[in-house]
């Protein structure tokens, strides 16, 4: 007599999956930020402790700077992915809300 509409269940499942992904991306973003901040703090501490003499070589400094740049790039990319996921979640919430009013 009444047919079950699978769309709400699919929407809920998609929303749950997106919510999990956003959570994981947020964790990844936080981890990248912590690593970048730690690397910057290490460089500042080493510079304060003895300037350029604190590093065994200029190549180590360059390596740390490259790593820091890479982390910043990855942090920015994770932030963009998080924003995209949030936009999808908002869209699904709007769709789910619009579907419930019918």
**Nearest CA among 32, 28, 37 for reference residue 82:** 28
Provide the residue-wise pLDDT of the chain in tens; the chain has 102 residues.
445 555 678 788 888 888 888 888 889 999 989 999 999 898 888 777 776 555 567 777 888 899 999 999 999 999 999 999 999 999 988 988 876 554
Dihedral through CA 30, CA 33, CA 34, CA 35, nearest 10?
A: 130
pLDDT for the residue 1: 46
Which residues does 99 contact at the CB level (< 8 Å), separation at least 6?
Answer: 7, 8, 11
> What token pair was written down for 6?
């699978």
Query: How high is the pLDDT of residue 8?
Result: 76
């Amino acid at each position: 007599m009444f047919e079950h509409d699978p769309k709400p269940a699919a929407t809920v499942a998609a929303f749950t999956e997106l919510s999990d992904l956003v959570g994981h991306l947020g964790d990844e973003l936080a981890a990248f930020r912590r690593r970048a901040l730690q690397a910057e703090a290490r460089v500042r501490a080493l510079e304060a402790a003895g300037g350029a003499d604190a590093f065994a070589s200029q190549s180590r400094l360059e390596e740390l700077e490259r790593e820091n740049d890479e982390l910043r790039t990855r942090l920015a990319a994770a932030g963009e992915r998080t924003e995209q996921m949030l936009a999808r979640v908002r869209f699904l919430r709007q769709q789910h809300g619009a579907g419930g009013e019918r």
